[in-house]
Structure 1
């Protein structure tokens, strides 16, 4: 019998919450990402539990066991139970009563299969008992996970129409967990193609979150190519072009995957607005794209914007040309990032004032950069 064995399931907090619910006479299982990722050997972040206990019962059980209960999403059946300083989300079994493609009206259930049927992919409908034993209530979920097959539960079109964000989740999950040699599930792609119009109903925030997560995968090139083929990428990022993305990913080598760098490779119009990027990411994307469009040397970009931006631009320029970055590029970037302009306004204030002072500082800085950051203060002033 398959079971999960990670330290997380035996943590004092996890076992305390499970014990409290089970001793009250209710079912309780771990579900979703923690189970999936344990079986795949991937990192685990959040612990989610499912139970037949109603939210008010979970609150009472937790408080009776000396645990803190927070009604974080109680109208949807979710209570966060805090044990030993760790919060676990406990959600009552649910089944969908009505959906509109963005949100669902749910009813609580006593049946684990009802809860499994409302999930998106078979690999996400795997449950683990507190002792680690796996429960696959729909059958096939464990086989799909072992085969790295991202497959919708039941009919793909029905699952997508329940929440159109699942279109993007299909590509994201394939990028992270799918077998790139086998491609994306054909039924899933057919469901996507038949429901493209639903993407227009999604908020920019939800789309942006999914796209950033997708592009953070080790190699999302196959998923992005499938998005191009189905027309999804053109709807999400109009005027984008995925041609250079596989080249960029190859050139990145062992660098940490960076979704903003990869967004710059895709291009498109109104990207920051369409994905509701944070101000920080929006600014960085803008600087990178301006650098790509310029002929400013990488060393100067590193001096003005830092080594990370200069590295991004060097990789993206090389991807555009289909070549490796220039020999010595990383040395030049490091040199520019460490360089400090040696002249200050006070050095020129006896000869220049106002706009003339600024113009002279800029002229000297240009000379200094052109010298490879070699000219000394005395050379520049004389």
Structure 2
């Protein structure tokens, strides 16, 4: 018999919610990520609960126990039960009635087996009762132990129900998997055209999470072999990312995205304004082969490290360590000694911007030693040549 670790169960607030739901004969179980992560010894952030109680009964049981119930997704069976300021998503057992590749019409159920059968991966279809005993309707425990990622039931059917599950498969593999089920990979390859009907927002969310994994390369390699990576990012190649991941230290997800593709992905992945701005800066540093001084001078600390790592994948010069933070501080301590006022009225509009950029480039490359008149000359020359 498999049980959850004791520290997961030593939560009086959780037990208060479970006791409330079971007070009149109903059943309530921890389900999904909380059970999976607890068994893997990984952090448990949110606890989801599955129950045979209908949604209106969940609300009534919570109220009877003095708990607040918020109907956050009551049409789909989900009620958020709030206890001592913490929210627990409580969802009635469900079965799918109709799916269209993006959304599902569900019916409520009192059968755990029906609820488990509609879930995506076997390691996400594990339940645990209030005593910590794990219930495994679909063979998820063995898969979890072996770090094997496998769909519940027929992989092709699971994917046709929601084509986003293709990306979820690779995202979960990046974090939890070591072995990928062959039938699952074939189904992902066969169904990849279904991603055309998935919104860019949803695709972007999955790719962010995948690229933020400790080691996304094995998952991305499988994505490439099945053609899914090229479906999402047509220009993507893995060579530069391999080089990036071989460097010491950790890389942010946005720099990994730049290593994969230097194309404008703002609309492809629905990047936020801030993400799109930082993406452009990282692409510029890589494509233009910025010097470390230029990186240190122009980029905030949150981006400078990633930009420096990207540049190393394209040029044969190691990052200055251990003096990189000190070198960056020294660069930032030398502001450009000329301003837009020094270039006007000779340069206006876009020419003024180009002139200032040329002056800044000259300032950086001179080791912050070029006098102001020479910087002005460089700016005027650049502005006039491209006007």
TM-score under structure 2 length normalisation: 0.88
Cα deviation, residue 279, structure 1? 1.3
Cα deviation, residue 290, structure 1? 1.1
In 2: Cα distance, 1:246 partner to 1:42 partner: 26
* SS of equivalent residue, structure 2 residue 242: helix
Counterpart mapping for 1:135-284 below 5 A: 135-138=135-138, 140-179=139-178, 183-251=179-247, 253-255=248-250, 257-267=251-261, 269-284=263-278
* SS of equivalent residue, structure 2 residue 186: helix
Classify 1:88/1:355 alpha carbon distance in 2 versus 1 (closer, same or farther; 3 Å).
Answer: farther
Classify 1:185/1:341 alpha carbon distance in 2 versus 1 (closer, same or farther; 3 Å).
Answer: same
Bigger Cα displacement from structure 2, 48-57 vs 12-21: 12-21
Cα deviation, residue 313, structure 1? 2.1
In the alignment, what sits opposite 1:291?
Answer: 285
Classify 1:340/1:56 alpha carbon distance in 2 versus 1 (closer, same or farther; 3 Å).
Answer: farther
* SS of equivalent residue, structure 1 residue 200: helix
* SS of equivalent residue, structure 1 residue 194: helix
Question: 2:48 touches 2:88 (CA, 8 Å); kept in 1?
Answer: yes
Counterpart mapping for 1:60-79 below 5 A: 60-79=60-79
Bigger Cα displacement from structure 2, 24-33 vs 189-198: 189-198
Bigger Cα displacement from structure 2, 89-98 vs 294-303: 294-303
Bigger Cα displacement from structure 2, 257-266 vs 303-312: 303-312
Which ranges in structure 2 are unaligned for 5 or more consecutive residues?
A: 377-387
In the alignment, what sits opposite 1:49?
Answer: 49
Bigger Cα displacement from structure 2, 68-77 vs 294-303: 294-303
Bigger Cα displacement from structure 2, 270-279 vs 162-171: 270-279
In 2: Cα distance, 1:361 partner to 1:327 partner: 27
Cα deviation, residue 12, structure 1? 2.5
Bigger Cα displacement from structure 2, 303-312 vs 68-77: 303-312
* SS of equivalent residue, structure 1 residue 82: strand
Determine which of 320, 332, 335 is the counterpart of 1:338: 332
In 2: Cα distance, 1:240 partner to 1:77 partner: 40
* SS of equivalent residue, structure 2 residue 246: helix
Question: 1:176 touches 1:217 (CA, 8 Å); kept in 2?
Answer: yes
TM-score under structure 1 length normalisation: 0.89
Question: 1:341 touches 1:365 (CA, 8 Å); kept in 2?
Answer: no
In 1: Cα distance, 2:34 partner to 2:312 partner: 39
Name the Cα RMSD after superposition: 2.7
Cα deviation, residue 130, structure 1? 1.3
Question: 2:289 touches 2:311 (CA, 8 Å); kept in 1?
Answer: no
* SS of equivalent residue, structure 2 residue 46: coil
Determine which of 361, 365, 371 is the counterpart of 1:370: 365
Question: 1:241 touches 1:268 (CA, 8 Å); kept in 2?
Answer: no
Cα deviation, residue 302, structure 1? 1.9
Question: 1:311 touches 1:333 (CA, 8 Å); kept in 2?
Answer: no
Question: 1:62 touches 1:81 (CA, 8 Å); kept in 2?
Answer: yes
In the alignment, what sits opposite 1:307?
Answer: 301
In the alignment, what sits opposite 1:103?
Answer: 103
Classify 1:375/1:143 alpha carbon distance in 2 versus 1 (closer, same or farther; 3 Å).
Answer: same
Cα deviation, residue 11, structure 1? 1.9
Cα deviation, residue 63, structure 1? 1.3
In the alignment, what sits opposite 2:382?
Answer: none
